[in-house]
Every structure is written in structure tokens, then in C-alpha cells.
């Protein structure tokens, strides 16, 4: 009984955190940043795939490829609730995404990408905290403007107000 209560509280925290508009905005900004990147080798990749790939490389160093794959699998499961079309997306054994290019239209694909990355960032915040997540984003994208004080989540005291 205690274990199921803990799991329910964890799932509630994950869903509440990942629905946060500030996390969604950060995800949108990262995707926009990647869409304007000038790396010729990545021109044909969707921005969501570039963001995911950069996060995969960096997080796999810390958590291993199976750790990142688990995190991305959970983020994809959460994102599918909001965007059922993401059911076409698969995660390869190395943690890379496959099938995003199968989404119907560009707008739908872009929105799905924002939601998927927001879920992934939200999970990172739940597991390692906001400040480490923001530090991690700055490490992966040193030229991306993000401040330590950027309010991505409210603490429990602020939520109670």
C-alpha cells in the first residue's frame, strides 16, 4: 500500500511538472535554437531529433545508454497522451528516435516535438532538480541563453498558495 502511494505521488509530480508552461517554453526555445543551427551535417534532421540526439549523447555519458533510453521511453509515453500521433515514433536500442518524420504535417510534428522534449526536461527536473537540469542544458548548448534563476518549477510551498 505504501509503495503504491509513493508511485502515485511520483506520477502526480511528474505529470504536474511536465505540464508546466515554463518547461514547455524552454523546450520550444531549444527546438527553435536547433532549427536555426548552421550545422550542414544536421540540416535534414528535424529539430526535435537534433535536441534529443544532443541530450542522448550527454546523458548517456552520465546514465548510460539504457538509462537515457528509459528516460526517453517514459517521456514518449507521457507525450503520447497529449499527441496520440506519437505512437508512430519508436526508440531504437541506442536511444535515438525513429519515425518522427512519419507524422502527418509539419505543424503537428513541431508541436509533438515540443511536447516530447518538454516531457523529457520535466523528467530531468523531477530526478535531478531544476538547477542541475539548467546547468546540463547550458553544458550541452553553451550558446543557448538560459539563466540559473529561470523559474521552471514552483516548489511545494508556492504550489499551495
- Residue 125 has a CB neighbour count (10 Å cut-off) of 23
Residue that wins the pLDDT comparison between 104 and 143: 143
Are 51 and 31 spatial neighbours (Cβ–Cβ below 8 Å)? yes
Give the bridge partners for 90, in sequence order: 98
Q: Using CA atoms in the order 64, 100, 89, 140, what is the torsion angle rounded to 10 degrees?
A: 20
Dihedral over Cα of 34, 123, 87, 60: its sign: positive
Q: What angle do CA 80, 128, 62 make, to 5 degrees?
A: 90
**How far apart, in whole angstroms, are the C-alpha atoms of residue 160 and residue 3?**
24
* pLDDT, tens digit, 9 for 90 and up, residues 49-98: 999 999 999 998 888 889 999 999 999 999 999 988 899 899 999 888 88
Return left, alpha or beta for 23; rule: phi > 0 is left, psi -120 to 50 is alpha, else beta.
Answer: alpha
| Amino acid 156: pLDDT | 41
| Amino acid 41: pLDDT | 64
* pLDDT, tens digit, 9 for 90 and up, residues 29-60: 999 999 887 766 666 788 899 999 999 999 98
- Residue 63 has a CB neighbour count (10 Å cut-off) of 16
Amino acid at each position: 500500500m505504501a509503495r503504491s502511494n509513493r508511485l502515485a505521488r511520483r506520477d502526480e509530480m511528474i505529470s504536474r511538472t511536465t505540464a508546466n508552461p515554463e518547461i514547455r517554453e524552454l523546450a520550444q526555445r531549444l527546438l527553435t535554437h536547433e532549427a536555426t543551427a548552421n550545422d550542414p551535417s544536421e540540416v535534414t534532421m528535424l529539430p526535435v531529433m537534433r535536441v534529443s540526439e544532443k541530450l542522448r549523447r550527454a546523458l548517456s555519458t552520465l546514465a548510460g545508454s539504457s538509462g537515457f533510453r528509459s528516460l526517453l521511453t517514459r517521456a514518449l509515453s507521457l507525450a503520447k497522451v497529449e499527441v496520440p500521433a506519437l505512437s508512430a515514433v519508436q526508440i531504437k536500442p541506442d536511444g535515438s528516435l525513429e519515425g518522427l518524420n512519419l507524422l502527418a504535417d509539419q505543424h503537428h510534428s513541431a508541436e509533438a516535438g515540443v511536447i516530447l522534449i518538454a516531457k523529457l526536461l520535466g523528467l530531468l527536473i523531477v530526478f535531478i532538480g531544476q538547477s542541475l537540469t539548467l546547468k546540463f542544458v547550458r553544458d550541452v548548448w553553451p550558446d543557448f541563453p538560459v539563466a540559473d534563476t529561470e523559474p521552471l518549477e514552483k516548489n511545494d510551498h508556492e504550489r499551495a498558495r
